[in-house]
A and B are shown apart, each in its own frame.
Chain A
Amino acid sequence: QAGLTQPPSVSKGLRQTATLTCTGNSNNVGNQGAAWLQQHQGHPPKLLSYRNNNRPSGISERFSASRSGNTASLTITGLQPEDEADYYCSAWDSSLSAVVFGGGTKLTVL
């Protein structure tokens, strides 16, 4: 099953803004949008955003998501050291009847 496409790594400076992308197709991201997950080493993933820009309770407003066509984006403003983590996008693929994940982006905060 084809997954979603994410850049393997992104590096930004402290207090800067990072934008992570996730590209799919009309059967997944372009259909129902994407969810975003954050995973720190040795921990399970944590949901950051879903249906493009809904944040679960407790998630900082520094995390915001959007979608344009078949590409979803996660923007993190005011980067902090604790934002250094792996970020994954996910979507339901209606043609595959499956959840598809992106390969993940490793965010480094310099």
Chain B
Amino acid sequence: QVQLVESGGGVVQPGRSLRLSCAASGFTFSSYALHWVRQAPGKGLEWVAVMSYDGSNKYYADSVKGRFTISRDSSKNTLYLQLNSLRAEDTAVYHCARDLSVVVTATLDYWGQGTLVTVSS
């Protein structure tokens, strides 16, 4: 069965960096676009970034553009999110999610449980 397992979250000071990982299994990793979506405590879903199946296309939300970088390693079936210059407003549970298609759509059919990032001094 499809599984997405995030890791790498924690408490970090403003301005510092963190790298999140999402280990995928149960499907052909290189055949799907993959997203990061975050959810601040008690708030709604906020899309963060997406990478196409082959890594050729990446798109970011304006709120993270220039600070966050999405990447993937097909040899490890793992999706990454590098978070730099962190701010208090980046505090959230970060989920990775699989796109329904090889191309980027807004249909996210499988989600991980998420990893909590807390930005605080």
- Measured CB to CB, the residues of A under 8 A from B are 1, 32, 34-35, 37, 39, 44-47, 50-51, 56, 86, 88, 90-92, 97-104
Contacts and interface: CB of A to CB of B under 8 A. Distances in A.
Interface of B: 35, 37, 44-47, 50, 59-63, 95, 97, 100, 104-114
B61 A98 contact: yes
A101 B63 CA distance: 14
Contacts of A97: 59
B45 A35 contact: no
B108 A101 contact: no
Nearest to B95: A44
A102 B47 CA distance: 11
B107 A100 contact: no
B119 to A, nearest CB: 21
Given A92-B104, A97-B59, A47 B45 contact: no
15 contacts: A32-B106, A34-B106, A35-B108, A44-B95, A44-B113, A45-B108, A47-B108, A50-B100, A90-B106, A92-B104, A92-B106, A99-B47, A99-B50, A100-B47, A101-B37
Contacts of A102: 44
Contacts, number: 67
Contacts of A1: 61-63
Given A98-B59, A98-B61, A99-B50, A88 B45 contact: yes
Contacts of B100: 50
Given A88-B45, A98-B47, A35 B61 contact: no
B106 A35 contact: yes
Given A44-B112, A45-B111, A99-B50, A91 B61 contact: no
A18 B46 CA distance: 25
Given A45-B45, A99-B35, A101-B45, A37 B61 contact: no
Contacts of A101: 37, 44-47
Contacts of A98: 47, 59-62
